[in-house]
Amino acid sequence: MENELEVNDIELNEDTHTEAEEAALLQQLGDEQDFDPSTAEIKTADNSQALAQGAASVMAVLGVSEQLLKQFGHKDFAFDPSQAENVASTAAPLFVKYGGEMPPWLAQYKEEFSFVVAAGALGFSSFQQIRMLKVSDAEKEVPQPEMELEQVEGAE
């Protein structure tokens, strides 16, 4: 029980200060303004505007992606509009979080991503071209009907 302190044994250390010291402290803190609800509404409006801009940016990226898939995949390809909207609204906070830029940890690889996309597009379009050339070559090779082959063999 020796470790227990009674309330009467505790000395309260109260700092005494003058009104001038209080005024000086308030002056230092005075740079920070009190909460203004109208300002908060503006910030929310700015945030919703930023979210809308982020969603629009994502939709633009999805639009370019859709065009590439139409070009290299199938001309009738299209993203499901509701799924595209869902992706855009889900990704919009990322644009707000990073101020419309790539995250810093991802931005350092921007050139690598650009290269991979460009090389991938070139490789895929080359593959598609080769496939179309083979189809074209196959159409040029017209097999001779069997009757003509028999006539040619009989003439010999």
Q: How far is CA 135 from CA 15, 63, 83, 121, 131, in A?
A: 92, 30, 35, 21, 6
**53-96 pLDDT per residue, tens:** 888 888 888 898 898 888 877 888 888 999 999 988 898 888 78
Every domain of the chain and the residues it spans: 39-101, 109-143
| Average pLDDT for 3-26 | 62
**86-141 pLDDT per residue, tens:** 988 898 888 788 877 777 887 788 888 888 888 888 888 888 889 889 988 888 87
Residue 40: band (very low, low, confident or very high) from pLDDT cuts 50, 70, 90? very low
Q: What is the DSSP string of 45-91?
A: HHHHHHHHHHHHHHHHHHHHHHHHHHHHT-TT----HHHHHHHHHHH
pTM of the model as a whole: 0.46
